Amino acid sequence: MDTNVRMILFKEDQIDHAAEAIETLHTQGIPEKDISVISGVPFSEKILGRPMSWTRVPQIALAGAFVGFLAASLLNFLTPNLYRMTVGGLPLTPIPTSIVVTFELTMLGLLISTFIGVFIETISPSYGPKGYHPKISDGYIGILFRCPTNVDEKTCLELQDLGAEIVNPAEVKQP
Amino acid sequence: MAVDAKSLIGSQAKPHHEMEAEELRKEHLLLDPMPREEMNQMVMDAMQTTTPRYWAFVIGFGLAVVVLLFGAWGYMIATGMGVAGIRRPVYWGIFIVSFVFWIGISHAGTFVSAILRVFKAEFRRPFTRAAELMTTFGLAAGALYPLIHLGRVWVFYWMIPYPNSRWLWPNFRSPLVWDFLAITTYLLSSTIYLFLPLIPDLAMARDRSKGWRYYLYRTLSLGWRGTEAEWFRLRKAIGIFAFAIIPVMFSVHTIVSWDFAVSMVAGWQSTIFGPYFIIGAILSGVSAVVTILYILRTTMKNFDYFIRPEVFDGLGKLILIFSMSWAYFFFNEYLLNWYGGTAVIKKILTLHATGPSAWVWYVMLICNVAIPWLFLWSKKVRRTPWLMFIITLLVNVGMFAERYTIIPLTLGHQRSPFDWGIYNPTIIEVSIVLGTLCLFIFLYLLASRIIPLIPVWEVQEGQMSHTLRKVGKTTMPSVTELE
Amino acid sequence: MAENQNNEKWGMVIDLDICTGCQACVTACSMENNIHFVGEDEMAYGRGLQWMRIRRYWEGEYPEVKPTHEPMLCQQCGNAPCESVCPVFASVHSEQEQINLQVYNRCIGTRYCANNCPYLARTFNWFDYELPSPMNAYLNPDVSVRSRGVMEKCTFCVQRIVKGRQKASAEGREIQDGEVTPACAQACPTESITFGRLDDPESRVSRLARNDRGFRELEELGTEPRVTYLKGGMSYGG
């Protein structure tokens, strides 16, 4: 089955129309994985009737926090034993001071790995139709979908009735 | 008499609730939406307009950084710490005062973009990025000081934990090593927290630029399209950051305060230093945000649409609250030491208030307490940007004086009167301190023309969730939770 | 640090009743330990590098004004506050001599130790002080010459302690009491400074430290200083 990738744009205040348009696409039998919505402000998936997205950033963040904690424990309890030097009546590896180092390095691990998670997920390949239009950053809501050629025209006419602006395939850019 | 007596009914041409709606729109940015296209254009305009005056400032401050900061610092490295005014017993002088000052200023951004975000204070939306930039550059300026004040700066890297053939690691029981770890954590986290919400705006800038700017923004925006997955991931990451960076912010300034509090210096052994320094830092930081916002509002194109008197009003109230909290902590410490402290501490308190440098103590109290308490009650004062500019500048002068009181004045008056000494800052020290201020301003000037300073997507998000609703006989703003 | 079975514990007793404040100890210490001359202006601003200083206070009303002299030096605390705050371990506790060591080539000059010393016993090299030749011929080869940016303080003439220990072990015996004297004790004309091992209960210094007139400076801070001062005041004929 041949499919075309199409993009339609809705103005920023036409959220309801966008939601209805997505429903239209559903009734045309276009599966969720062939639709992707891009926008200049975040819209909750529930608003547009879409399945929730998933991300693994929180888990990566926790893993990073654990790595930070490990690093801190090594620095606190291993390194003074490598070359023992007594200072000021303090024990070699006191716990109160190690709490400070542990806290800082755990938080560092957490926050850096959050960013690394975002970065890796961003550069990883994503599913759904690719495509972009500069008007998105002007606040438009864009809906990309893979439309089977046989229902192509009918779908486009229906969407135009809802107020969508159909983007010529030649104008669909990459970011 | 050529006075037109306007009839009361005739002058109200519009219905009452419509006039109210107009006033509300003028007052609140989030109730006064503009099409996103126009807002984008305004921000891009502001970013890409450079006047000769701007270049004069950039070159001026750049030269100042080279001469005042690097020139004086280079001279000090080559000749020795003796060119500074530090001496026995005041081994830490204005460098450490500035260090604490800049770390304090850097709390501004986190307070605005993390704490206000967590508490859903919507008025924070237009200026989170300007505040976050202050954090990053404040830390950049402040993090120089642990290097500047070192006697042998060329071996500073011994403070960094790295494996070496001698199996020597830094002393993790020392507060200076905690300082190093805390500031590194905070600097990296702040920069990332600045970058994450910046990505969608960089994508917007990418779509509207050409030439070197286009390539820069294309690389930095990481191919942002605005898909649901991208937004969801960004939301999650910003959420983690907002909650996690608040304890980091508290811990950083607490650790800086522990440089003093864990020592045996009379007057520094105080359990209240942690919270006291944090409150002082937030007071200093929020005041600095107001100062910068005033400058941005008056010098950047189109910014008076985004930064309205409501911002100064809201921040002014916060400054008043924090000034009161600061006064509470200060008085707490003062009373306990004055009442039942050891002889040394009582003498130090007397010195602070009546000694040769007592004017510093009075400057601190007047600027931190008297001025906010006298002026920030008045709504009119809070809504006048230039008045807020002056008041907040004075608050920061007062906070600098506070750190000066705590560090050199206390160090000079310890347990043995034979060893008392007065600290006189030299021109090299003052030059380096001014140099870091110029560095901060220089970096900010550059950033204002490289990245968009207003997070337009956040403003639009806020505008979408705020509507005017007619309730009874009046119109009121109403907030929808779009998340 | 090699942990010896017989770790020594060096200590000092200074008798304030016979100290005349002549500053011979200060001079001898400066000569022994290659302490730089800083010049008059720097001295006036409190930048003198002397490891030992005489604290002089005036007591009484005119015409019965009397000075009191107290030689103040690094107390070599058992619980030294200067050690725990150094970020690079430049200030460590010596296991063998039980004194506080300053490692010049590790010091990066944060000056935290100087702030944390309640006795203000530490000094800092503010500049590279020039000694034009042939003046530098008087430098003691046993003691390093410090560059700018480095902290320094009294070491109980550790170079003499080590020499004494090496001589004794070469001759196959223990260090005898009174064999090792630091420069200040050697130069004192009234012999008010006594130096020796506190871990030997019968040494001169231990017996003097148990004297009724003995007190330690700022003992209430818990620093466990190794220097005991003897002061009886007028009633002991001082």
Question: Where is pLDDT greater, at B314 or A43?
Answer: B314
Chain C interface, Cβ < 8 Å to A? 1, 77-86, 89, 91-93, 95, 224
Q: Mean pLDDT throughout C153-162?
A: 94
Name which of A44, A79, A118 is nearest B169 (Cβ-Cβ): A79
Tell me, what's the pLDDT at B483?
65
- Please provide residue C155's backbone torsions phi and psi, each rounded to the nearest 5 degrees: -115, 15
State how far the Cα of C36 lies from the Cα of A51, in Å rounded to an integer: 77
In 3-state terms chain B splits into helix, strand, coil percentages (rounded to 5) of 75, 5, 25
Please, are residues B143 and B446 in contact by the beta-carbon 8 Å criterion?
Answer: no
Q: To the nearest whole number, what is the mean pLDDT of chain A?
A: 86
Q: Which structure tokens are listed for B270?
A: 């105080």
DSSP string, B210-240: -HHHHHHHHHHTTT---BHHHHHHHHHHHHH
State how far the Cα of A70 lies from the Cα of A62, in Å rounded to an integer: 12
State how far the Cα of A164 lies from the Cα of B338, in Å rounded to an integer: 74
Name which of B161, B173, B255 is nearest A87 (Cβ-Cβ): B173
State how far the Cα of B152 lies from the Cα of B154, in Å rounded to an integer: 6
| pTM for the whole structure | 0.92
The size of the B-C interface in CB pairs under 8 A is 126
Could you give the count of Cα atoms lying within 13 Å of C124 in the half-sphere of its Cβ?
30
| Best residue in B183, B227, B233, B246 for a mutation probing chain A (most A CBs within 10 Å) | B227
| Partner residues linked to A142 by β-bridges | A9, A38
| Partner residues linked to A10 by β-bridges | A141
CA-based angle C107:C110:C116, to the nearest 5?
Answer: 105
Most confident stretch, A17-31, A156-170, B14-28, C74-88: C74-88
C111 Ramachandran zone, left/alpha/beta (phi>0; psi -120 to 50): left
- Residues of chain A with Cβ-Cβ distance to C1 below 8 Å are 84-86
CA distances for C174 relative to B184, C10, C177, angstroms: 52, 14, 9
pLDDT at C6 over 80: no
CA distances for B214 relative to A137, B203, C81, angstroms: 15, 10, 57
Check C84 against A88: CB less than 8 A apart. yes
Could you give the count of Cα atoms lying within 13 Å of B114 in the half-sphere of its Cβ?
27
First to last CA, chain B: 60
Report yes or no: B470 at the A interface, CB cutoff 8 Å.
Answer: no
- Residues of chain B with Cβ-Cβ distance to C120 below 8 Å are 88-89, 414, 416, 419
Check B158 against C106: CB less than 8 A apart. yes
Could you give the count of Cα atoms lying within 13 Å of C128 in the half-sphere of its Cβ?
8
- Residues of chain A with Cβ-Cβ distance to C84 below 8 Å are 87-90
Check C120 against B416: CB less than 8 A apart. yes
Tell me, what's the pLDDT at C2?
44
Which residue in B459, B135, B104, B441 sits closest to B295, CA to CA?
B441
Instruction: Taking the CA atoms of A74, A80, A81 and A87 in sequence, report the sign of the dihedral they define.
Output: negative
**Per-residue pLDDT in tens (0 to 9) along chain B, 483 residues:** 444 444 444 444 566 667 778 888 888 888 888 888 888 999 999 999 889 999 999 999 999 999 999 999 999 999 999 999 999 899 999 999 999 999 999 988 888 889 999 998 888 999 999 999 999 999 999 999 999 999 999 999 999 999 999 889 999 999 999 999 999 999 999 999 999 999 999 999 998 988 999 999 999 988 888 888 899 999 999 999 999 999 999 999 999 999 999 999 999 999 999 999 999 999 999 999 999 999 999 998 889 899 999 999 999 999 999 999 999 999 999 999 999 989 999 999 999 999 999 999 999 999 999 999 999 999 999 999 999 999 999 999 999 999 999 999 999 999 999 999 999 999 999 999 999 999 999 999 999 999 999 999 999 888 888 888 888 888 888 888 776
Cβ-Cβ contacts under 8 Å for A140 (sequence gap 6 or more): A9, A10, A11, A12, A39, A40, A133
State how far the Cα of B329 lies from the Cα of B402, in Å rounded to an integer: 13
Tell me, what's the pLDDT at B11?
46
Q: Mean pLDDT throughout C76-86?
A: 93
State how far the Cα of B59 lies from the Cα of B72, in Å rounded to an integer: 18
State how far the Cα of B246 lies from the Cα of C168, in Å rounded to an integer: 62
Q: Mean pLDDT throughout A45-66?
A: 88
SS3 state of residue B435: helix
| Partner residues linked to A7 by β-bridges | A144, A167
10 Å CB burial of residue B263 (0-12, 13-18, 19+) is buried
Report yes or no: B237 at the A interface, CB cutoff 8 Å.
Answer: yes
CA distance C127 to chain B (A): 5
Check B171 against C72: CB less than 8 A apart. no
Report yes or no: B203 at the A interface, CB cutoff 8 Å.
Answer: yes
| Partner residues linked to C229 by β-bridges | C14, C215
Residue C53's H or E segment, with its range, is strand C53-59
Cβ-Cβ contacts under 8 Å for A59 (sequence gap 6 or more): none
Interface partners of A (3+ CB pairs, < 8 Å)?
B, C
Which residue in A40, A36, A62 sits closest to A50, CA to CA?
A36
Residue with tokens 């929730």: A52
Please, are residues B159 and C88 in contact by the beta-carbon 8 Å criterion?
Answer: yes
C136 Cα distance to chain centroid: 23
Tell me, what's the pLDDT at C1?
41
Q: Give long-range contacts, CB 8 A cutoff, 24+ apart: B74-82.
A: B75/B428, B76/B148, B76/B428, B76/B432, B77/B153, B77/B154, B79/C127, B80/C125, B80/C126, B80/C127, B80/C128, B80/C148, B80/C149, B81/B151, B81/C109, B81/C124, B81/C126, B81/C148, B81/C149, B82/C42, B82/C47, B82/C126, B82/C127, B82/C148
- Residues of chain A with Cβ-Cβ distance to B176 below 8 Å are none
CA distance A103 to chain C (A): 18
Q: Mean pLDDT throughout A16-21?
A: 84
- Residues of chain B with Cβ-Cβ distance to A126 below 8 Å are 227, 229
Please, are residues C74 and C122 in contact by the beta-carbon 8 Å criterion?
Answer: yes
Please, are residues B83 and B72 in contact by the beta-carbon 8 Å criterion?
Answer: no
Check C93 against A90: CB less than 8 A apart. no
Question: Residues 158..187 of B with a Cβ closer than 8 Å to C: which?
Answer: 158-159, 168, 170-171, 173-177, 180
Tell me, what's the pLDDT at A139?
81
pLDDT at C138 over 70: yes
Question: Residues 28..47 of B with a Cβ closer than 8 Å to A: which?
Answer: 35-37, 40
Q: Which structure tokens are listed for A126?
A: 């994503």
Please, are residues B223 and A175 in contact by the beta-carbon 8 Å criterion?
Answer: yes
Q: Mean pLDDT throughout C105-120?
A: 94
Tens digits of per-residue pLDDT, A113-161? 999 999 999 888 887 888 888 888 888 888 888 888 787 788 888 888 8
- Residues of chain A with Cβ-Cβ distance to C90 below 8 Å are none
Check A88 against C89: CB less than 8 A apart. no
Chain C's closest residue to B261, CA to CA, is C116
Reported ipTM: the value is 0.91
Check B91 against C81: CB less than 8 A apart. no
Chain B's closest residue to C151, CA to CA, is B151
State how far the Cα of B457 lies from the Cα of B39, in Å rounded to an integer: 10
Report yes or no: B343 at the C interface, CB cutoff 8 Å.
Answer: no
Chain C's closest residue to A86, CA to CA, is C93
Alpha helices by DSSP H, listed for B341-375, are 343-354, 358-365, 371-375
Could you give the count of Cα atoms lying within 13 Å of C199 in the half-sphere of its Cβ?
12
